[in-house]
Amino acid sequence: MRIRFDAASANPQTVKPSVELNRRSLLTTFAVATSSLLSGQSLMAETSDESARKGTSALKGDRFTRVKSVVEIKGTVEIKVAKAGTASKTPIESTTNLEYEEAVRSRSDSSERFAVQLYSQAESANDVQKYVTTTKLRDECKTIVKLIDSKSRSIQCLDNPLTASERDLVQGPISSIFLDSLRPSSAIKIGDQWQVKGSALSNLLNLAKVTAGELKVTLVDADSKMGQLEFLGEVEGEVHDVKTSMTIEGKGRLDRSTGMISWVAVSMQEKRQVGESEPGFDVTARIRILRESIENLTQTIDLDSLQKRAEADQSSELTRVLSRLGAYQFVADRGWTLYSDSGVDASLRWVQKNYTFAQCTITNLTDTEPGQQLSIDGYQRDIQKSMGNQLGQMLEATEKITATGLRMMRVVSVGTVNQVPMQWIHILVSNDAGRHLSLVFTMNAASADRFDSQDLQIADTLEFTLRQLPTAPAKSSEKTEEKPSETAGLKKPSSLIK
């Protein structure tokens, strides 16, 4: 007997026209079920194959669901160290819990999606060598919008750029937006098998692209309410221009009354190469996702208006860098990654297509007496003294008040290091209370044009935050949030505070 999944039985919710991805990493298992014959149009799995798409139709309109996701990860992360060709491996365990309501708007003739996710819970706990740190979605960013098309995938908290850890938190290794890609594309019977591959698979797994492999899905059992699925596959792909490979095994359940995948349980093994902007890893993950259909979101949201704002908003191209240890924050291009932060010193790299074009060293300087400031001439003398024979000439020296009300001095200079032409941008920001922060941008002279005004974006949005009292990192058994340390013992920058 053949089983036909009827799109008409799915009864997708609609609204009035006026109503409106490190953690893409780890493992999967799914299950799905079905038995008696349904009449009408069959339910289709999304596919990148044009031949499979012809004569089929995906669910149209807006769909509202409530989602609960748990991701448990265990393995090692691998980080590049200063010595070329070497890496440091560190064991890690991580647990992520997400609960949210989701509205998904799709177009039947493409893989384009607009989604709104309203989070009631979004947090992860990372255990690295028996010390635990936690990441939580800020209250002001509990509404996340996602835009996905054939060329790009954006995740936004409108008007409030996410931190890198927040973006990873809501990215997930499997996308609930594309979970229905596991459905069959035609009428099936128990024992039948189909494939998920290409763009459908990359969207499901939050990969930039799939270069090889597929998921093979099998209907193993069915009744009048559910279809039970099993799937298995090996996939190779890319994330942020870095290669990754994974082995996936899972189970899932297809709810015939709603026409959607209502539950999956996945085991995934992933090996990702070390990249310039993020670590590599070799991990095993267990992923469980539970979905239920709801009539509408509990919050009143104008989806049409929100979609227009999301399409015009550029915040998805920016990231918020928040240093609790250093007691400052700023907004930067998403290419910037914070590599280390002791509270006194921090190191960032600007990476494009897995190549480092520039670096930035941020140094917390000792406080001066309130109201005491260094002159621009004094700042230039300090730079000249610190750079020595590397300095060729200073191209410009300016000072201004930033958008956040801080005093900023900026000096651009060129020179050579081991006969390689270099450019530096020295910036000193300070406030009337005596706080001083030094930012030094370093790049190959050939990268200066590409760099453009990245430094001004950072300096103009930089804000000092309140310093916090020191607290020892939590042991893994305590499972509490690590508090930032007091920024005591700040560096004294020669004549900068004279």
Q: Are residues 243 and 351 in the same domain?
A: no
pLDDT band at 371 (very low <50, low <70, confident <90, very high): confident
Q: Are residues 282 and 349 in the same domain?
A: no
Question: Residue 149: which H helix or E strand, with range?
Answer: none
Structure tokens at 110: 């493409």
Which of these three, 313, 330, 361, is where a domain ends? Answer: 313
Domain total for the chain? 2
Q: What is the pTM of this model?
A: 0.80
On whether residue 1 sits in a domain, the answer given is: no
On whether residue 35 sits in a domain, the answer given is: yes
What's the mean per-residue pLDDT of the chain? 82
On whether residue 2 sits in a domain, the answer given is: no
Q: Are residues 342 and 359 in the same domain?
A: yes
Higher pLDDT, 107 or 246: 246
How confident is the model over 17-34, as pLDDT tens digits?
322 234 343 333 222 222
pLDDT at 213: 97
Which of these three, 276, 298, 313, is where a domain ends? Answer: 313
Question: How many H-runs (helices) and E-runs (strands) does the chain carry?
Answer: 8, 24
β-partners of residue 266 are 287
Which one-letter DSSP state was computed for residue 240?
A: T
- Residue 473: pLDDT over 60: no
Q: Are residues 306 and 325 in the same domain?
A: no
Q: Are residues 83 and 198 in the same domain?
A: yes
Higher pLDDT, 21 or 282: 282
Among 112-116, 350-354, 485-489, which is the least confidently predicted range?
A: 485-489
Q: Are residues 52 and 163 in the same domain?
A: yes
Q: How many CB atoms lie within 10 A of CB 246?
A: 24
On whether residue 177 sits in a domain, the answer given is: yes
On whether residue 397 sits in a domain, the answer given is: yes
Which of these three, 313, 348, 367, is where a domain ends? Answer: 313
Give the integer Cα–Cα distance in Å for 448 and 428: 20
Q: What mean pLDDT do residues 460-485 have? A: 63
% of the chain beyond a pLDDT of 70: 80
How confident is the model over 131-160, as pLDDT tens digits?
888 999 999 999 999 998 877 888 999 889
Q: Are residues 329 and 237 in the same domain?
A: no
CB 143 within 8 A of CB 157: yes
Q: Are residues 350 and 274 in the same domain?
A: no
SS3 at position 339? strand
Q: Are residues 208 and 349 in the same domain?
A: no
% of the chain beyond a pLDDT of 90: 65
β-partners of residue 246 are 235, 270
Q: Are residues 251 and 350 in the same domain?
A: no
On whether residue 153 sits in a domain, the answer given is: yes
How confident is the model over 67-86, as pLDDT tens digits?
999 999 999 988 776 555 56
On whether residue 214 sits in a domain, the answer given is: yes
CA angle 260, 266, 267 (to 5 degrees): 165
In Å, how far are 171, 229, 273, 382 from 254, measured between CA atoms?
A: 23, 8, 34, 67
Q: Are residues 400 and 478 in the same domain?
A: yes
pLDDT band at 8 (very low <50, low <70, confident <90, very high): very low
On whether residue 248 sits in a domain, the answer given is: yes
- Residue 405: pLDDT over 90: yes
User: Residue 274 belongs to what domain range?
Assistant: 7-313
CATH of the domain at 355: 3.40.1000.10
pLDDT band at 207 (very low <50, low <70, confident <90, very high): very high
Using CA of residue 11, residue 13, residue 16, residue 20, what is the dihedral sign? negative
97's CB contacts (< 8 A; 6+ apart) are: 69, 70, 121, 122, 123, 124
Q: Number of C-alpha atoms within 13 angstroms, CB side, residue 289?
A: 35
pLDDT at 177: 95
Structure tokens at 199: 């763009």
Q: Are residues 219 and 286 in the same domain?
A: yes
CATH of the domain at 131: 2.30.230
